[in-house]
Chains A and B, each alone.
Chain A
Amino acid sequence: MTKPVDGCVKPSKGPIIDETQTDLLSTQPVVKEKPKMTARVGKPAPDFELSAFQEGGFKNVRLSDFKGKWIVLCFYPGDFTFV
């Protein structure tokens, strides 16, 4: 039996931006905009996919996988912090 291979680096998609929001036909020169805060109360939550540790294993988790449930999203400064 072969063990699942998991390299040191596993890319995840990160922020998932709705493609329809960008005007692909625009003739304007492409300027790479600095990413900014898009989270607003009363508006759809910004979606993303990140690698995660859960139940003893590594996997990628997409926030919208939990759509249909109440979700509490908690950011924290670091593992092993005190507060």
Chain B
Amino acid sequence: MGVEVVAISTDSRFSHKIWQEEELSKMVPGGVPFPLLSDQGGRVGTLYGVYDEDAGVDIRGRFLIDPDFNLRAMEVLTPEVGRNVTELIRQVKAFQIVRAEGVVTPSGWQPGKPTLTPGPDLAGKVWKVWKVDSAF
């Protein structure tokens, strides 16, 4: 899919090193293949709306950026609930097909499912090509 991953927390780079060496490398052989950035003070987390000043940490936030450096999608959760990587991959594929083909992906779209081409012909006729079942 050609996606660069960048991970950020408020930990120091020294903490990142030990985490990679002591734990991550036991989950992923050789450690995770992307940089672990240090946002001490939460300056960058503040720009992205994920810095929790009371706790002093960047909470769980995920941002998808396109090749023109425009932000396309964001998801922010309190820390107790982990991410849905499958949904992230679906969104990447959806934004990639939209960018490549100029189509749009309706609710419930998955790779392989039909896309829509917006325009006057489709106005008022979506019911013909998209059913409620398509959302699931």
A residues bordering B, Cβ < 8 Å? 10, 12, 14-15, 35-48, 50-54, 58-59, 61, 63-64, 66-81, 83
Contact = CB atoms under 8 A, between A and B. Distances in A.
Nearest to A6: B13
Interface residues of B, number: 61
Contacts of B81: 83
Interface stretch (B15-23, B106-114, B117-125): B15-23
A52 B44 CA distance: 13
A55 B59 CA distance: 25
Interface of B: 1-11, 13, 15-20, 23, 34-39, 41, 43-50, 55, 57-67, 69-74, 79-83, 88, 92, 95-96
B43 A77 contact: no
A39 B74 contact: yes
A51 to B, nearest CB: 5
Contacts of B7: 74-76
A81 B10 CA distance: 12
Contact of B65 (A51, A52, A54, A70): A70
B35 A41 contact: no
B3 A76 contact: no
